[in-house]
Amino acid sequence: MRIAQGFDLHHLSVGKPFKLGGVLIDWPKGPVGHSDGDVLLHAVIDALLGAAGLGDIGEWFPPTSESFKDADSSQLLKKVLEALQIGGWQIINVDTTILLETPKLSTYKAPIQEHLAQLLGIERNCISIKAKTMEGLGPIGQAEAIAAFAVVLITQK
């Protein structure tokens, strides 16, 4: 078995679409990124790549490559999952924490969890989605940024 963590952070900007865990969030600000800026999926991708010893998201999907401009992070995750499958890896569980001042994510947690379960091919109860504020501190606390952490446990099939 192997365990690894992933992290991502993006600035928020008015008028940008806001996808989190592959789910569209109804909010006037969204993450600024080369792809769709989905910090949660990016953190999960990095954790999976790290656990399998396959590098990191920047190596797989460089922000300098036009082929990943505005890419759907769910599709990027699918490419990583194909590599894990080829390597004989199976996901046991995923634990995530999202750092965001606003909007409140309580109504979005279940749809995010369901989308992740479908993407990862694991039971919904093997995925934890937690949200924390920064109590008004720093760029995240001032609603200027969003960050996410992910921890994954994988095993050889």
pLDDT tens-digit profile of 79-96? 999 999 999 999 999 999
DSSP 75: H
Determine contact, residues 7/148, Cβ cutoff 8 Å. yes
- Delimit the domains of the chain by residue range: 2-156
Torsion of CA 16, 28, 14, 74, to 10 degrees: -20
Name, in order, each residue with C-beta under 8 angstroms of 56's C-beta and a sequence gap of 6 or more: 46, 49, 50
Angle between helices 109-120 and 39-51 (to 10 degrees): 40
Written as one letter, the residue type at 59 is E
The H or E element spanning position 155 is strand 145-156
- What would the pLDDT profile of 32-74 be if each residue is shown by its tens digit? 999 999 999 999 999 999 999 999 999 999 988 888 887 899 9
Say how far apart CA 69 and CA 35 lie, in whole Å: 5
Determine contact, residues 25/106, Cβ cutoff 8 Å. no
Residue 131 has φ and ψ, to the nearest 5°, of -125, 135
As its CATH architecture, domain 2-156 has 2-Layer Sandwich (3.30)
pTM to 2 decimal places: 0.96
Say how far apart CA 149 and CA 86 lie, in whole Å: 25
